[in-house]
Amino acid sequence: MAEPGTRGAELTADPRWRLRHLPVLLATSALLGAVAAVVGGVTGGGDAALGAAAGVAVTVVSYTLTTVVLAWADARNPQLVLPFGVGLYVAKFTLLGVVMATVASTGWGGLAALCVGIAAGVAVWTGVHIWWLTRVHSRRSAA
């Protein structure tokens, strides 16, 4: 195991390690988006189907953007991760707040489903990421 503050040789040998988990997360999120659209459509009609799928998409875009930007920053200089991460966090939540306020002001019927889709996307992305780190990544690191 590497000392705190240093990188293990297995990580620096393969620069793709920062994004290796992304295909699994994107595939799972695509499946979730389809399920969310079906559930939304069955329970609330077309607006709910669109809202639920859009909510999952919002989460996927947000998390993918964060993953790619932070992987880029870490590959350039690990000291860039914190400022890029905080800046991206502030920008994304500001944009999300503006979008949600704008959508809420329209009276669109899919707003509640949009919120549920965002929450489901966060829960599934986080759960699959934890699974990937504890099951898949830990096995690769041990090999």
C-alpha to C-alpha distance for 71 and 29, rounded to whole angstroms: 20
Q: What is the pLDDT of residue 17?
A: 78
Alpha helices in 77-110 (DSSP H): 81-106
Torsion of Cα atoms, 119 then 125 then 128 then 134, to 10°: -110
Q: What is the pLDDT of residue 14?
A: 61
Domain edges within the chain: 27-132
Name the residue with tokens 């909510």: 55
Half-sphere exposure of 114 (CA within 13 A, CB side): 16
Per-residue pLDDT tens listing for the chain (143 residues): 445 555 554 555 566 778 888 999 999 999 999 999 999 999 999 999 999 999 999 999 999 999 999 999 999 999 999 999 999 999 999 999 999 999 999 999 999 999 999 999 999 999 999 998 888 766 665 65
Note whether 22 and 67 are within 8 A (CB): yes
Per-residue DSSP letter, 132: I
The model's pTM is: 0.83
Q: What is the pLDDT of residue 47?
A: 97
Per-residue DSSP letter, 3: P
Give every CB contact of residue 50 below 8 A, 6+ residues apart in sequence. Answer: 37, 40, 110, 113
C-alpha to C-alpha distance for 17 and 133, rounded to whole angstroms: 12
